[in-house]
């Protein structure tokens, strides 16, 4: 039971949050409806957060989470328009539920709290959180992680209400992005991901750090598999969900194909590069002559201005001189790049870079996109579970093991699609069982859970149900084994008299001597 002093401190903290948000809102020109919905979001997040961080270990503290919402409203939102359905203003959204205009620091949204919170999470994000040295995926992986984080931000308010935990797949903006983001968060931790998302200076190569973390924690083989799967999947998801990015990738694909076609015939390519270099060298020589001759410079000034519209005319000869100096510098840089291509070693490197880009861009030609994404998601989950198995093997104390049990239970209840959760997918059942059995084995070894049956498979069938129960506190669970005719059933309770009756399938008749507790007796699960 929560202490009275804790509850009192919670109330004080709640008041402080509201006061801080109200001070921010006083300086904003939001209408009263907008202010009211923002205060409601804050209240609901605060009410839900205790259960959220219990159910889902490895998340931000409540203080940091709420502060990030307030800071985003303060720093990134100059205008928030909450508009009603079937009004003139709603035409601005077309068939969307919201519009985020980062350049104007403006959000336009229907009065749906979870959608507005999603927008607040989205508006402050940097579009590119990876170094450009990673061709193609610096855009697609950035997009995947950002979208996943936006969805993650909405979760405390979307799925928790202060007394229960319910996830409706239709309310998740993208089930695929959510799955991948939660995979990454569980494997490397929320702090690393938070820092990666805030990356704007590019001083730290977070993708390299991410790979190093995976390597150290799960081994080189798993690191390579995971990063390649994530990279390819990020391209497929960008094609499926991000029209703007898809268009950019299609344009880049055409350019890469053209460049590769040109260099396929090595002699022709060298001739083209040499011709381009001679052309640029000639242009630089002409510019130098013009810049060093006042009369020629004046003629160039008149010639350029003759065809320019009024608003674009060059103001003076001096301005033209500066412009030509900049143009000259650009041509020199182009020559330097061409010189690199004429170097045999650099040429090989250049070709390899193009081929690396083409490898990812070929994914744009995928015919059955939804089906292919589904295949990649399944592959990713199998590799994720192999990593999670390694993570469990390293645990050697009750506290950390209990966190992993909570974490894995959370994972099993992530929606895989609109009908099934992750723990109910047939294609993953062997991988899931391996992880479940190791967790229960560790729980027995560390005396976190008593052995319920000396028959290992029966013990597993009884206890595995804890990974599919949506109660907040697993520590409060009780279990009762029942036999009806020739079938065994498990009934699980919590202190609030929540109960669920589950049939134990695929087991033979059990000798009562193999059981460590009596049938029809309610027994506490966790010690």
| Domain limits, the chain | 1-123, 264-342, 395-524
pLDDT at 165: 95
**259-288 in b/e burial notation, b at 16+ Cβ within 10 A?**
beeebeeeeebeeebeeebeebeeebeebe
Token couple for 353: 């870079």
- Please give the Cα distance from 57 to 32 (Å, whole number): 36
Tokens of 431: 């991988």
**Could you tell me how many residues make up the chain?**
527
| Paired strand residues for 479 | 492, 523
* Per-residue pLDDT band at 87 (split at 50, 70, 90): confident
Report the chain's mean pLDDT, rounded to a whole number: 89
Mean pLDDT of 365-372: 94
Is the confidence at residue 3, as pLDDT, over 50?
no
Residue 12: which pLDDT band, with cuts at 50, 70 and 90? very low
- The answer on pLDDT for 209 being more than 90 is yes
Q: Give me 439's structure tokens.
A: 């967790």
Q: Is the pLDDT of residue 422 over 50?
A: yes
**Residue 488: CB partners within 8 Å, gap ≥ 6?**
481, 482, 503, 504, 507, 510
* Whole-number pLDDT of residue 509: 64
Confidence of residue 433 (pLDDT cuts 50, 70, 90): very high
Q: What is the radius of gyration, based on Cα positions, of the chain?
A: 30
Q: Tokens standing for 468?
A: 């599919």
Q: Which helix (H) or strand (E) holds 367?
A: none
Q: What is the pLDDT of residue 5?
A: 47
pLDDT given at position 69:
95
Q: Quote the pLDDT of residue 2.
A: 46
Reply yes or no on whether the pLDDT at 508 is more than 70: no
Lowest mean pLDDT among 345-349, 352-356, 381-385: 345-349
Q: Tell me if 438 sits within 8 A of 465, measured CB to CB.
A: no
Q: Find the helix or strand (DSSP H, E) in which 468 lies.
A: none
Place of tokens 């990713």: 380
pLDDT at 203: 75
Lowest mean pLDDT, pick from 186-195, 271-280, 474-483: 271-280
The arithmetic mean of pLDDT across residues 169-179, rounded, is: 96
List 500's β-bridge partners, or say none: 492
Given this model, what pLDDT does residue 85 score? 84
Which is nearest to 408 in space by CA: 433, 430, 376?
433
Average pLDDT on 68-97 reads 90
Residue 475 DSSP code: G
Q: What is the per-residue pLDDT for 498?
A: 65
Please tell me the distance from the alpha carbon of residue 476 to that of residue 422, in angstroms, as a whole number: 24
DSSP 362: G
pLDDT of 11 > 60? The answer is: no
- Helical residues (DSSP H) of 161-265, grouped into ranges: 175-188, 190-197, 206-218, 220-241, 243-264
Q: What pLDDT, on a 0 to 100 scale, did the predictor assign at position 265?
A: 63
* Gap between the Cα atoms of 242 and 468, Å rounded: 33
pLDDT above 90: percentage of residues in the chain: 59
Collapsing DSSP states into helix, strand and coil, what is residue 168? coil
User: Residue 150 — pLDDT band, cuts 50, 70, 90?
Assistant: very high
Check if the beta carbon of residue 525 is closer than 8 Å to that of residue 477: yes
Stronger pLDDT, 375 or 22, i.e. the higher one: 375
Q: Cα torsion for 510, 514, 519, 525, to the nearest 10°?
A: -120
What secondary structure letter does DSSP report for 162? S
What is the Cα–Cα distance from 72 to 144, expressed in whole angstroms? 20
Q: At what angle do helices 369-393 and 206-218 cross, to 10 degrees?
A: 50
Distance CA(364)–CA(248), nearest Å, equals: 11
Among 376, 388, 485, CA closest to 438: 388
Q: What is the DSSP letter of 492?
A: E
Integer Cα distance of 517 and 519 in angstroms = 7
Q: How far apart are CA 173 and CA 332, in angstroms?
A: 48
The number of C-alpha atoms within 13 Å of 259 and in the hemisphere containing its C-beta is 17
Would you place residue 507 in the very low, low, confident or very high pLDDT band (cuts 50, 70, 90)? low
Higher pLDDT, 26 or 15: 26
Mean pLDDT on 134-145: 94
Highest mean pLDDT pick, 20-24, 242-246, 284-288:
242-246
CA–CA distance, 120 with 65 (Å, rounded to integer): 13
What pTM does this model have? 0.82
- Predicted pLDDT of residue 504: 81
CB 134 within 8 A of CB 356: no
For residues 81 and 104, give the distance between their C-alpha atoms in angstroms, rounded to a whole number: 13
Residue 219 burial by CB count (10 A; 0-12/13-18/19+): exposed, middle or buried? middle
Interval 262-316: pLDDT, tens: 777 666 777 777 888 889 989 998 989 888 888 888 888 888 888 788 778 888 8
Residue 10 binned pLDDT confidence (cut-offs 50, 70, 90): low
CA 112/CA 86 separation, integer angstroms: 15
């Amino acid at each position: 039971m929560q202490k009275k002093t804790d509850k009192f401190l919670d109330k004080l903290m709640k008041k402080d949050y509201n006061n801080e948000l109200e001070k921010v809102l006083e300086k904003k020109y939001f209408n009263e409806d907008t202010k009211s919905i923002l205060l409601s979001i804050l209240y609901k997040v605060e009410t839900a957060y205790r259960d959220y961080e219990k159910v889902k270990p490895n998340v931000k503290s409540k203080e940091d989470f709420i502060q990030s919402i307030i800071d985003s409203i303060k720093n990134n939102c100059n205008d928030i328009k909450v508009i009603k359905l079937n009004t003139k203003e709603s035409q601005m959204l077309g068939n969307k539920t919201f519009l985020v205009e980062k350049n104007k620091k403006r959000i336009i949204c229907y009065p749906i709290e979870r959608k507005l919170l999603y927008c607040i999470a989205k508006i402050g994000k940097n579009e590119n959180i990876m170094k450009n040295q990673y061709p193609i995926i610096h855009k697609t992986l950035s997009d995947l992680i950002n979208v996943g984080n936006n969805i993650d931000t909405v979760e405390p308010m979307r799925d928790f209400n202060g007394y229960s935990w319910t996830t409706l797949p239709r309310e998740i903006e993208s089930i695929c992005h959510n799955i991948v983001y939660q995979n990454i968060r569980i494997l490397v931790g929320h702090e690393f991901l938070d820092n990666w998302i805030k990356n704007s200076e590019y001083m730290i190569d977070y993708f390299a750090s991410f790979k190093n973390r995976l390597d150290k924690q799960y081994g080189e083989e798993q690191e390579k598999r995971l990063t390649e799967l994530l990279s390819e999947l990020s391209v497929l998801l960008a094609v499926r969900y991000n029209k703007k990015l898809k268009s950019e990738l299609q344009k880049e694909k055409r350019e890469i194909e053209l460049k590769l076609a040109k260099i396929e015939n090595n002699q022709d390519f060298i001739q083209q590069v040499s011709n381009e270099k001679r052309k640029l060298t000639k242009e630089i020589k002409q510019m130098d002559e013009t810049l060093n001759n006042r009369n020629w410079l004046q003629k160039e000034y008149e010639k350029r201005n003759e065809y320019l519209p009024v608003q674009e005319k060059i103001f003076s000869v001096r301005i033209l001189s500066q412009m030509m100096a900049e143009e000259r510098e650009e041509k020199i840089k182009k020559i330097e790049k061409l010189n690199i291509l004429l170097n045999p070693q650099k040429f090989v490197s250049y070709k390899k870079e193009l081929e690396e880009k083409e490898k990812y861009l070929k994914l744009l030609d995928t015919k059955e996109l939804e089906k292919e994404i589904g295949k990649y998601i399944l592959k990713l989950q199998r590799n994720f579970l192999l990593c999670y198995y390694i993570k469990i093997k390293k645990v050697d104390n009750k506290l950390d093991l209990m966190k992993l049990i909570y974490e894995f239970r959370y994972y099993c209840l992530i929606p895989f699609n609109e009908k099934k959760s992750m723990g109910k997918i047939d294609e993953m059942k062997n991988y899931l069982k391996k992880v479940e059995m190791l967790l229960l084995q560790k729980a027995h070894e560390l005396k976190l859970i008593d052995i319920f049956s000396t028959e290992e498979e029966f013990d597993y069938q009884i206890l595995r149900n804890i990974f599919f129960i949506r109660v907040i506190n697993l520590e409060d669970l009780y279990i009762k084994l029942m036999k009806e005719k020739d079938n065994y059933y498990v009934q699980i309770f919590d202190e609030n008299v929540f109960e669920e009756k589950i049939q134990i399938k695929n087991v033979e008749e059990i000798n009562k001597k193999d059981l460590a507790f009596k049938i029809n007796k309610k027994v506490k699960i966790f010690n």
